[in-house]
Amino acid sequence: MECFTSCYIVAVAFILDLILGDPHFAHHPIRYMGKAITISEPHFRKWAGTSRLRLSVAGALFSITLISCVYGLTSALTGIAGIIHPACKAALEIVMIYFCLSARGLEDAATEVCDALNQMGLQDAKEKLALIVGRDVRPLSKEGVTRAAVETVAENLVDGVISPLFFAAVGGAPLAMAYKMVNTLDSMIGYRNEMYEDFGKAAARIDDVANFIPARLSVPVISAAAQILSGRGVCSMKTAIREGANHSSPNAGYPEAAYAGTLGVRLGGPNYYHGSLVSKPYIGTEFGEVRIGHIRKACDLMYLSSFLWLVILIFLSDRNMPTGLSLRNT
C-alpha cells in the first residue's frame, strides 16, 4: 500500500468524520455488513446442525468468508477506481475509510446520554445509553448509566478510531473495511450465550486478535493526551499497566484503565448482559465514583487521543515516503 494512502488519505478521512459524523442512511457499508451477517448465518448453521464442534467450525468459516469477501470486494472497487483515475481511487478510499471511523458519532452519542441525565431524567438517559452499549440498562442507577457512558467512550476509542486508523495506515481501505466486518461480526454474534457460545466463538477471537496491538498502543496515546489535558499522564499510564488486564476482554481493559487513571474514577464491575449477571472486576479501584461531568471529559480525552494517534501515523508514514511521491503516482 502506497504511503500516500497511509498518510494523506487517512488524514482527510479523519477530518471528514470530525465534520460530518456518522451518516445515517440506508446504504451505509456497515449496514450492508450487518445484512450480510443476518442473511448468511442461517445457511452456515444449517450445515452445522446441532453438533457443537461443527457449529464452531461453521462459525469460523462464516466469519472468515465474510471478512475475506469484504476485503476482496473493497480491493476490487479501489482497483477499478484506480484504473479510471488515481484521483478517483483516492476519493473512494477516503470515503471508505471515513465510513470506518466513529469519533464524532461516539461523542454525539455520549453527549446525548449526558444531556438526558442533566435535563430529561434517568429513563431517557437509559434509552439513549441502550443504543451504544450491549449491557442491560434497566437495572442501572444514575451512577451506573454515567459509568457505562464513560466506559463505552474508552472502549470505542479503540474500536472506532485507533484500530480503523491503524489498519487503514497499514493496508488502506480494504484492510480498514475488513476490520469493520470483524468488529461487526463480534458485535452481532460474539456472545457467550446459548445461541452463540460455539458459533460466535471464532468471531470473538478474531476481534480479540485484531484489536490486540491497537488496544495496547492506545495506552501511551491516551496517557499523552491525559498529560496535555490534566497533567495526569503518569497516573493514566500506571493504572493501565497495573489494572489493564483486569477485564473479561483481553483488550478493553487497557483503554478503560487508562481512562480510569486519567479521570480518577472507578470503572468496570458486574453488569447484566441478556438477563445474566456477568461478574467483572473493577478498574481504578483506588478512585471514586463517576460523575456526569466525566462524560464530557471522556469525550475530550477521546478527541485529543484520536488526533495524537493520527499525527503519529502521519509521522511514521511520512518518514517512509519516497521523495516526490504525489497523487499522480499513487
Ranges of each domain in the chain:
3-329
Residue 26: is its pLDDT beyond 80? no
What whole-number distance in Å separates Cα of residue 16 and Cα of residue 8?
12
What whole-number distance in Å separates Cα of residue 221 and Cα of residue 233?
10
Cβ contact 230:262 at 8 Å: yes
Residue 1: is its pLDDT beyond 70? no
Q: What is the mean pLDDT of residues 185-212?
A: 91
User: Residue 62: which of 176, 177, 200, 187 has the closest Cα?
Assistant: 200
What whole-number distance in Å separates Cα of residue 105 and Cα of residue 262?
22
Question: Cell numbers 479501489 label which residue?
Answer: 78
Question: Cell numbers 462524560 label which residue?
Answer: 295
Give CA angle at 11 (262, 1), nearest 5°. Answer: 115
Q: Which three cell numbers stand for residue 173?
A: 481501505
Give residue 329's pLDDT. 37
Q: What is the mean pLDDT of residues 117-138?
A: 90
Least confident of 26-40, 259-273, 312-326: 312-326
What whole-number distance in Å separates Cα of residue 3 and Cα of residue 69?
25
pLDDT category at 195 given cuts 50, 70, 90 is confident
Cβ contact 100:164 at 8 Å: yes
Give residue 133's pLDDT. 87
Residue 6: is its pLDDT beyond 60? no
Residue 60: is its pLDDT beyond 90? yes
pLDDT category at 3 given cuts 50, 70, 90 is very low
Residue 105: is its pLDDT beyond 70? yes
Task: Give percent of the chain above pLDDT 90.
Answer: 73
Cβ contact 128:109 at 8 Å: yes
Cα separations in angstroms, 237 against 46, 163, 216, 225: 48, 19, 11, 11
What whole-number distance in Å separates Cα of residue 44 and Cα of residue 278?
29
Amino acid at the residue 52: R
Q: What is the mean pLDDT of residues 115-125?
A: 92
Residue 5: is its pLDDT beyond 90? no
pTM: 0.90
Cα separations in angstroms, 293 against 78, 102, 296, 307: 43, 22, 6, 22
Mean pLDDT for all residues in the chain: 90
Q: What is the pLDDT of residues 204-260, one digit of tens each?
A: 999 999 999 999 999 999 999 999 999 999 999 999 999 999 888 899 999 999 999
Residue 330: is its pLDDT beyond 70? no
Cα separations in angstroms, 134 against 187, 215, 233, 263: 8, 19, 29, 23
pLDDT category at 322 given cuts 50, 70, 90 is very low
